[in-house]
């Protein structure tokens, strides 16, 4: 593999805790597909890992709860014909997934305060528009 996959900052995917599994892949490749194990499944026991800071780990377990099976995060890749490229793809996907899941929550939105002058101008224009429409009625024409 091409090296450590950075999740965020100085935290990287823990190589020692990654479990790789290979199987035959469907898709392009012709007869080659029938003989090589090019599909890659990458697993990380998120519940037991010690590499992630506790806050990140909590966040990831909460946000990825739908994807986890017994606390284990699994990613599959069978996009390429080569096992090596599928390994790269799976590792990058897992790092991206963890980066997104461990990101801090966005800052709460502060409601914008509309300046008084803008509100008064809006009300004045509404009043003026109403006067224009009222002036179109035929009641005053006799």
User: Residue 105: phi, psi to the nearest 5?
Assistant: -65, 150
Does residue 50 have a pLDDT over 80? yes
| Residue scoring higher pLDDT (58 or 3) | 58
| Cβ neighbours around 52 below 10 Å, total | 21
Distance CA 66, CA 42 (A): 17
Give residue-wise pLDDT tens across range 76-118: 998 888 888 999 999 999 999 999 988 888 999 999 999 999 9
**Residue count (the chain):** 142
Please say whether the beta carbons of 44 and 73 come within 8 A.
Answer: yes
Does residue 33 have a pLDDT over 70? no
Does residue 52 have a pLDDT over 80? yes
Q: Taking residues 64-82, what's their average pLDDT?
A: 88
Does residue 142 have a pLDDT over 90? no
Q: With cut-offs at 50, 70 and 90, classify the pLDDT of residue 2.
A: low
């Amino acid at each position: 593999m091409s090296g450590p996959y950075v999740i965020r900052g100085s935290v990287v995917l823990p190589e020692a805790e990654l479990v790789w599994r290979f199987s035959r892949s469907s898709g392009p490749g012709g007869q080659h597909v029938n003989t090589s194990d090019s599909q890659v499944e990458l697993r990380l026991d998120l519940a037991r890992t010690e590499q992630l800071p506790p806050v990140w780990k909590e966040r990831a377990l909460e946000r990825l709860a739908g994807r986890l099976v017994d606390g284990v995060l699994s990613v599959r890749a069978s996009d390429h014909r080569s096992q090596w490229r599928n390994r790269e793809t799976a590792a990058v996907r897992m790092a991206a997934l963890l980066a997104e899941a461990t990101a801090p929550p966005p800052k709460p939105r502060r409601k914008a305060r509309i300046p008084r002058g803008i509100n008064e101008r809006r009300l004045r224009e509404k009043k003026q528009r109403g006067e224009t429409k009222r002036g179109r009625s035929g009641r005053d024409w006799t």
